[in-house]
Chains A and B, each alone.
Chain A
Amino acid sequence: MSIGIDDLNTNQLDVLREIGNIGAGNAITALAKMLNKKVDMSVPKVKILNFKEIPEILGSSDTLIVGILLEVTGDLKGNILFVLDSNSAHSLVNILMGKQDADKSAELDEIEISALKEMGNILAGSYLSALSMLTNLNILPSVPDLCIDMAGAILSVPAIGFGKVGDSVLYIETEFTDGTQKVAGEFFLIPDVNSYETLLSALGVMG
């Protein structure tokens, strides 16, 4: 029988939460280093929600959002998704590209999209290296792909991934700022059906 979020006990959930905290912390440190400026992060919130509520976490199901997805291979298989509402995507681009008052309603151009993908790479990469260190598992991210579309459509990807083994989704809410621009994003680690066991065993909280 496969394990899902619904089957986890509080101890196991606490461990996943803690990994979320460490992973997000690592990711923000990497961002600050890359930008060579101070980036403040609020304490990441690890949330577990029924997937029915998932499309609404960024407003309505048909709001325009940005999703950056990476495949995870190695000892642990699955996907990582980082989502931002379009306001935060613009703020992040502004932080990355040193712009101050860019038009937030404008469509993202190719260079901005590429910058966001790279951002996804850095955030997912540092998150995974934290996970890798804690578990001693070999975990490799793929090249990211980016999609700009309705929230419901993009968030159906993690919902389906988690839906295979239960009715809940685990994600990490992060918020950071460089002092002028604020970015709020959601981070989903979506293990494959068989990877929960690998993950929990490696963390020493299986069964």
Chain B
Amino acid sequence: MENVIKVGMADLNVAVSPFILTTLGLGSCVGVCLYDSIAKVAGMAHIMLPYSMHGKPETNLAKYADTGIELLINEMAKKGAVKSRMIAKLAGGAQMFNFRQENDIIKIGQKNVLACKEILNNLNIRIIAEDTGGNFGRTIELFAEDGRLMIRTIGFGVKQI
């Protein structure tokens, strides 16, 4: 499909209608999908970690929720999207493995989802749908023509939000 634009891990991309943004095999990472239905501009970020505070100059802004979402909004604005018209959909943030003890790596999915929600709230971007959590991977597709988000899983079916 030549209409499909891939978004890799710790990566982001913007598409206009009729293009489709996709990211394959989201695990504990979160797919942040933003959409402006007037401009028909869609944006997708594959967020790995919540916040970019590690004392190092960041080379990869798309890796973190705080810097990634901000960059995504800016990139979408370049294609004619307006922040006040954007809505958000979230997918991913699963916990792939299960352990009794507290484990940073294991709980990271939940933390990623919480961070994305907090950041979107602070930016006044409404989250209209989400499919997060669980213990399974997701492949997602965001359609720039109408903002629909298709979510495919292995063993948990397909859904549209």
Residues of A within 8 A of B (CB): 1-2, 51-52, 54-55, 60-62, 64, 67, 69, 71, 79, 142, 145, 147-157, 159-161, 163-165, 167, 190, 192
B99 & A52 in contact (Cβ 8 Å cutoff): no
Closest to A63 in B: B25
Q: Which of B33-41, B55-63, B77-85 contacts A (4 or more CB under 8 A)?
A: B55-63
Q: Which 7 A-B pairs have the closest CB atoms?
A: A152-B25, A153-B137, A153-B27, A61-B24, A156-B27, A150-B25, A150-B137
**Interface residues of A, dominant DSSP:** mixed
B55 & A150 in contact (Cβ 8 Å cutoff): no
A156 & B28 in contact (Cβ 8 Å cutoff): yes
Q: A51-B9, A61-B25 are in contact. List 11 more A-B contacts (CB 8 A).
A: A55-B24, A67-B97, A149-B27, A149-B136, A149-B137, A150-B25, A150-B138, A156-B48, A157-B105, A160-B29, A160-B108
Which chain A residues lie closer than 8 Å to B48 at the CB level? 51, 156, 159-160, 163
Bound Cα distance from A153 to B93, whole angstroms: 10
A150 & B135 in contact (Cβ 8 Å cutoff): no
B9 & A149 in contact (Cβ 8 Å cutoff): no
- Provide a sorted-by-A list of 15 A–B residue pairs whose CB atoms are within 8 angstroms: A1-B56, A61-B25, A62-B24, A62-B25, A62-B139, A79-B105, A147-B96, A147-B135, A148-B154, A150-B154, A152-B137, A153-B26, A156-B26, A156-B29, A163-B63
Q: Is B103 an interface residue (CB 8 A)?
A: yes
Scoring A64, A153, A161 by chain B CB atoms within 10 A of each residue's CB, the highest score goes to A153
B27 & A154 in contact (Cβ 8 Å cutoff): yes
Interface residues on B, range: 35 or more
A150 & B139 in contact (Cβ 8 Å cutoff): yes
How many contacts between A and B, using CB within 8 angstroms?
Answer: 116
Nearest Cβ in chain B — how far from A129, in angstroms? 21
A163 & B27 in contact (Cβ 8 Å cutoff): no
